[in-house]
């Protein structure tokens, strides 16, 4: 654990694809009675408003940046960064840093099975794997990999003192 997290601030979960960010986010938000928000779904909805339909999850981030820029991405994150929220899946270092500096929320990094990132793990890249080292460095809390889901649940409960 790097620093103590602030429970009154929103959380953002970052990490490599397939690392269990969503499972961690949903379980944590349920334990704390926080609202769970998947940022990828919000970005996808905004793209659909202008008749852009991503073919896969891996396309959403880059398409969104192409049409709305990093500022638009940061605006979406800021819009949903309310107290008692858990935001899942931001993978762009500048957006995470903007979130941390403007909102003051917690940045939690979920390590994958093969460390911070394993480019050979994914059949299809989303282009943001190179952002992970920078996000890792500015994170308030590093959550290790657990091969068993119940071990992750126990870790979260111990972390939150539940």
CA distance 69 to 113: 31
Give the full edge-to-edge strand order of the sheet including 85-88.
35-38, 85-88, 11-14, 106-110, 141-143
For the chain, which residues score pLDDT lower than 70? 1-8, 115-127, 161-162
Q: Are 12 and 149 in contact (CB under 8 A)?
A: no
User: Which residue range forms the structural domain that includes residue 115?
Assistant: 11-159
Q: Which helix (H) or strand (E) holds 10?
A: none
Tell me, yes or no, whether 3 lies in a domain.
no
- For the chain, the C-alpha Rg in angstroms (whole number) is 15
For residue 82, being part of any structural domain is answered with: yes
In a domain, residue 133? The reply is yes
* 4 within domain boundaries: no
pLDDT at 51: 96
Q: Output the domain CATH number for residue 130.
A: 3.40.50.300
pLDDT of res. 56: 87
- Cα separation values, 157 from 29, 34, 119, Å: 12, 15, 31
pLDDT of residue 80: 93
> Can you give the pLDDT at residue 52?
95
On whether the CB atoms of residues 32 and 70 are closer than 8 A, the answer is no
Residue 2 lies in a domain: no
What pTM does this model have? 0.83
Considering its fold, how many domains does the chain have in total? Answer: 1
C-alpha 99, offset from chain centre: 11
Task: Tell me, yes or no, whether 68 lies in a domain.
Answer: yes
121 falls within a domain: yes
In this predicted model, what pLDDT tens digit does every residue of 5-22 receive, in sequence order?
556 678 899 988 778 889
Classify the phi-psi angles of 20: left when phi > 0, otherwise alpha if psi is within -120 to 50, otherwise beta: left
| CA nearest to 65, candidates 43, 81, 87 | 43
pLDDT at 149: 85
80 within some domain: yes
């Amino acid at each position: 654990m790097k620093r103590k997290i602030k429970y009154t601030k929103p959380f953002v979960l970052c990490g490599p694809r397939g690392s269990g960010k969503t499972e961690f986010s949903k379980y944590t938000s349920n334990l704390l009675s926080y609202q769970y928000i998947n940022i990828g779904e919000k970005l996808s909805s905004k793209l659909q408003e202008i008749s852009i339909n991503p073919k896969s999850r891996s396309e959403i981030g880059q398409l969104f940046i192409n049409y709305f820029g990093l500022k638009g991405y940061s605006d979406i994150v800021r819009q949903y960064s309310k107290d008692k929220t858990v935001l899942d899946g931001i993978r762009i270092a500048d957006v995470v840093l903007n979130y941390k500096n403007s909102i003051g929320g917690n940045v939690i990094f979920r390590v994958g099975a093969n460390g911070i990132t394993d480019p050979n793990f994914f059949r299809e890249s989303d282009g943001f794997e190179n952002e992970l080292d920078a996000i890792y460095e500015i994170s308030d809390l590093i959550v290790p990999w657990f091969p068993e889901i119940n071990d992750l649940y126990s870790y979260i409960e111990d972390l939150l003192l539940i």
